[in-house]
Structures are given as C-alpha cells and as structure tokens.
Amino acid sequence: MSDSILIVLEQYISSKILKQPDRKINPEEFLISSGMIDSFSLVDLALFVEDTFNVRIEDAELNAQTFNSLNQLAALIESRLEK
C-alpha cells in the first residue's frame, strides 16, 4: 500500500509542483525544510491528498514537523486511512 501512495505522491510533486515529470524524488529527501515545496504548493499538496486519499491534513499540520519527506507523508496518510 505504502509504495503505491509513494508513487502517486512523487508523480504529483514532480509533475505538478516541480513541473519536471521525469524528476525522481528520494523518499527520504527533505521536501519542506529544503524549500523544494513552497508554502503555496504545500496547500495544493494538502488539497491533492484530500481529493486522492480522502485524508484531511489540517492547516496547522502543513509544516516540516508534521512531515518533511515522501516517506513521512505516506506514513501519515496510511495512519489516517486505517482509522
């Protein structure tokens, strides 16, 4: 399950946010603290996660402490899918 979430997330981030569809993102790479995803795109990412997985990420959770890598985001989504 986690792998498919990772692929969907990576695809979205590289094609829609970074506009480089061929770009590979390491699952441990820092997304937020590195500045790869800016605050505006972060909201878009939250909306995408909400639409795709039906999992809500709150406004106050959109920061590097809640998730900072693809792995962490996938884990967050998974933990909420289980509930």
Partner 1 sequence: MTILQIAVLAILAIIIGQLPRGRQLAMLAISTFAIFWLQPDEPFVTLLFWLPVATLAISLLCWALTSGPESRSWRQNWPAAALLAAIIVLMDLNRIFKIEQVYTSRTPVLELTLAVLFGLAVLTGVIIRWQSVNPIFQAAGLAAIILIFIILKTPNLLSMVSGYLVNLRGANTADKTIPLTWLGYSYIAFRLLHTIRDKQTGRLPPLTLAEYFNYAIFFPSFTAGPIDRAERFVKELKMPLTLTNDDWLDAGSRLFVGLFKKFVIADLLAFLSLSNILVEQVKSTGWMWIFLYAYAFRIYFDFSGYTDIAIGMGRLMGIRLPENFNAPYLKSNLTQFWNSWHMSLTQWFRAYYFNPITRAMRSAKRPLPVWLIIFVTQISTMVLIGLWHGVTIGFAIWGLWHGLGLFVQNRWSEFIRTRVPAWAQTQSGQKVASAFGIFLTFNFVAVGWLFFNLDSPATAWLAMKKLFGVI
Task: Give the binding site for partner 1 (CB under 8 A).
Answer: 18-20, 32-33, 35, 38-40, 42-44, 46-47, 58-60, 62-63
Compute the least distance from the CB of residue 1 to partner 1, in Å: 26
Q: Using the minimum distance from each CB to partner 1, give the nearer residue, 8 or 62.
A: 62
Find where tokens 């967050």 sit. Answer: 76
Integer Cα distance of 44 and 69 in angstroms: 16
Residue 62 Cα distances to 3, 20, 65, angstroms: 22, 23, 8
Closest to partner 1 by CB, 24 or 60: 60
